[in-house]
Amino acid sequence: MKRINRIAATLGVAALAAVGLGAAAVPAGAAQVASAVRVPDVIKVPAGNRQIALLQARGVQTYQCTSGAWGFLQPDAILSSYGRALVLHSRGPVWTSVDDGSSVTAATVASSPVPLAVPQLLLKSTGNRGPGLLGEVTFVQRLNTTGGLSPTGACKDGTTASIPYTADYAFWAAVPK
């Protein structure tokens, strides 16, 4: 458990440094806004699942130049509710609870384009760790995205660019039988 907390703390510091923002930068009560937004059919969660959390993310999408072209490297974000940091989002993609160390790793199953922003996504869990907030997550939705698009134009190999983005993340678990 100490190792999990150390990893979570390290990710949190990295995300804060990369973004230059604290969790308090997320407006209180903003999470309710996402529930009113229309979710495209292609990224809707299948029946038999219930939403267990809706959190606002502020972070960066990091890209690296390889062979003269930009390619996605990793996300780094802090997910908050009412100004309180609850989850760290990092390469994998993986989401880790800062409260209980539970985590979910997921893979994209569908996407929906957003003008001038990274796409909205539906991701399916490929693994969970520990009991707690994320221990039973079956699906993750990335909604209401802004920013985060890859740089354009020529680049020098090995160069990285971290582009700020925001999104709402909805976490889903199977309905108990």
Q: Which residues of 10-41 are buried (b: 16+ CB within 10 A; e: fewer)?
A: ebbeebbebbeeebeebeeebbeebeeeebee
* Digit-coded pLDDT (tens) for 114-135: 999 999 999 999 999 999 999 9
pLDDT value at 3 more than 60: no
Q: CA nearest 17: which of 159, 117, 162? A: 162
Percent above pLDDT 90 for the chain? 78
What pLDDT, on the 0 to 100 scale, is given for residue 177? Answer: 86
What average pLDDT does this structure show over 1-13? 40
Residue 37: per-residue pLDDT: 66
Res 147 pLDDT > 90: yes
pLDDT digits (tens, 9 = 90+) for 73-99: 999 999 999 999 999 999 999 999 999
pLDDT band at 36 (very low <50, low <70, confident <90, very high): low
23-33 per-position pLDDT tens digit: 322 333 334 43
- The whole-model pTM stands at 0.81
Residue 13: which pLDDT band, with cuts at 50, 70 and 90?
A: very low
Q: Is the predicted pLDDT of residue 17 greater than 90, yes or no?
A: no
Of 29-38, 76-85, 146-155, the poorest mean pLDDT is in: 29-38
- Which 3 state secondary structure label does DSSP give 33? helix
Does position 47 have pLDDT exceeding 90, yes or no? yes
102, 95 Cβ separation under 8 angstroms: no
> Which two tokens mark 52?
């267990």
Grade residue 20 by pLDDT with cuts at 50, 70 and 90.
very low
State how far the alpha carbon of 172 is from the alpha carbons of 17, 88, 94, 101, 114, in Å: 29, 17, 15, 18, 22
